[in-house]
Amino acid sequence: MFDHIPNNVDLDSDRKLQKALLKWLPNYLDWWKEMGPSDFAEDQIYLRTAISVKRDGWAHFEHVKMPDYRWGIFLTPWDASERTIGFGDDLGKPVWESVPGEYRKELRRIIVTQADTEPASVEQQRLLGHTAPSLYDLRNLFQINVEEGRHLWAMVYLLHRYFGRDGREEAEELLMRRSGHVDSPRILEAFNKPTEDWLAMFCFTMFMDRDGKFQLGALAESAFDPLARTTKFMLTEEAHHLFVGETGVGRVIQRTAELMAQSEGGDVVPLGGIPLDIIQRYINDWYSASTDLFGGEDSSNAANYFANGLKGRWLENSGRITDHVALDSVYNLDVVADGRVTNNELPMRRAMNAVLLDNYVADCERACKRWNQTLRKAGISEELYIPSSKFNRQQGVYSGHRFDPQGNLIDEATWQANESNWLPTEADTTYVKSLMKPCFEVGKIANWIAPPRRGINKQGFDFEYVRFADDPYVRA
Ligand code: BYC
Ligand code: FE
Ligand code: FE
């Protein structure tokens, strides 16, 4: 059974880990059957599988059925004996090979929170295969799904290997919570949000997976070395998810621009395109949901995580940051007091969630600039924007207040009067869903989205990315 699990964690000789996995694995496969992509288990998908951490082993492509995908356990190889803690109160001391008793609870919580998002995203994307705009997109969806499954494995490995009985219990519970379930939902709110059409799918991978990039990057700095190495390897897979999101939204924008040029007065609806204002509202919706994933801007949890070496900053040790203790600096945070926005000085450590959010915002702005280049090249003067991170918040210092997308504090009446301009309406989602007719023919694509510039692994767009076992159009 373990021969089939590619790994570089010495699984062969680790009896305890084998025993834990033996119990968990069947439950994982049941979960995948029940909550993984529906109705595509018999098809051959052109997937990349990580079979070793070496460069050539990592980028291994072949047509496989998803249930036969080899979920592996990999840590980025580096010599821990040479590593020291890169930030916080214990800066410069050796990193930890096991969990220090005093941080056990916090580390378990961080790992479980991270782990919970991985199966959640698979659940959220479960039905999207039925409406894929092309085989290329269908394949990308499934690639992301199996890799999010592997990310769950990666976190479960940590729980099994380092947290004893309570780790095993947490690993079981990860398979029992369900995205959007009333009684046992996923931990973070945005991972309970329905993702029912492909514009939402691209926004999800653009914005939510991008939160993952920064959270994983912060954990890759951790003094708990196994966590650092695991998340570091996850980041290599994450790059493709982000690519799918950014170019996916970009391809919708490009197609809209093409249709605008062909249209009467710029209205793309008669031509079956997605209008820019609907795209903007989707961006506003998913962006604001993703900013909540950073937690509170003013957070004592974040300060403790940093002080204790559990969670660092983005690229903490890549040369850009020089002060790894962060006790003498402050962060200027806008807060609402007495009905207006004022600026507060916050001790830097308390602002670590806000600092990570800033890195994230810059990355989103960069992507948005590229989308606007696409519009400009097509001769369109309208622009898309990333809203203020004060807009539409449910977590943090801006929740409980109303802001417009530009970040101005507004009253409830102004919000009510404008909500339908800023966030997707029922009419928007109904319209977008009406366009979601699958296109399962080799080399063809739905009308509302442009094809990608190139295919996967040097294949063309007209490659047979999915070989169906039977007629996919007649499936339930
Ligand atoms: N929803 O001090 P605070 C990914 C709670 S995505 C619900 O402000 P803190 C992926 C919090 O628990 C990356 N509750 O924030 C993407 C606390 O509760 P207690 C996921 C929330 O503690 C796509 C209270 O509010 N990675 O990988 O610094 C596809 C005050 O907390 C939320 C991680 O999350 C929320 N949004 O938490 C697949 C990394 N925010 O203590 C995968 C691990 C806060 O009062 N997690 N609360 O009971 C963490 O580092 C931290 O837990 C958080 C911030 C980032 C969530
Ligand atoms: Fe992931
Ligand atoms: Fe991802």
* pLDDT tens digits, 166-223: 999 999 999 999 999 999 999 999 999 999 999 999 999 999 999 999 999 999 999 9
User: Which pLDDT value is given to residue 264?
Assistant: 87
Which CATH number do you get for residue 374?
Answer: 1.10.620.20
Ligand 1 neighbourhood includes 119 CB (under 6 angstroms): no
The residue whose C-alpha atom lies closest to atom 46 belonging to ligand 1 is 110
User: Which pLDDT value is given to residue 476?
Assistant: 64
- What value does the mean pLDDT of the chain take? 96
Q: How many domains does the chain have?
A: 1
Cα gap 360→298, rounded to integer Å? 17
The arithmetic mean of pLDDT across residues 113-140, rounded, is: 98
Other beta carbons within 10 Å of 416: 10
The arithmetic mean of pLDDT across residues 303-332, rounded, is: 97
Ligand 1 neighbourhood includes 209 CB (under 6 angstroms): yes
Cα gap 15→171, rounded to integer Å? 18
User: Which pLDDT value is given to residue 80?
Assistant: 79
Surface-to-core class of residue 474, CB atoms within 10 Å of its CB (0-12 exposed, 13-18 middle, 19+ buried): exposed
Q: Tell me: the pLDDT tens digits for 218-238?
A: 999 999 999 999 999 999 999
Ligand 1 neighbourhood includes 451 CB (under 6 angstroms): no
Question: What residues make up the domain containing 238?
Answer: 2-474
pLDDT at residue 373 tops 90: yes
The arithmetic mean of pLDDT across residues 335-347, rounded, is: 96
Question: Phi then psi for 282, rounded to 5 degrees?
Answer: -65, -45
User: Which pLDDT value is given to residue 3?
Assistant: 75
Ligand 1 neighbourhood includes 291 CB (under 6 angstroms): no
Residue type, 45: I
Which listed ligand is nearest to 233 at the C-alpha? 2
User: Which pLDDT value is given to residue 181?
Assistant: 97
- CA 290: distance to chain centroid? 9
The arithmetic mean of pLDDT across residues 356-364, rounded, is: 98
User: Contact, 34 vs 443, CB < 8 A?
Assistant: no
CA angle 157, 179, 121 (to 5 degrees): 60
pLDDT band at 59 (very low <50, low <70, confident <90, very high): confident
The arithmetic mean of pLDDT across residues 397-412, rounded, is: 98
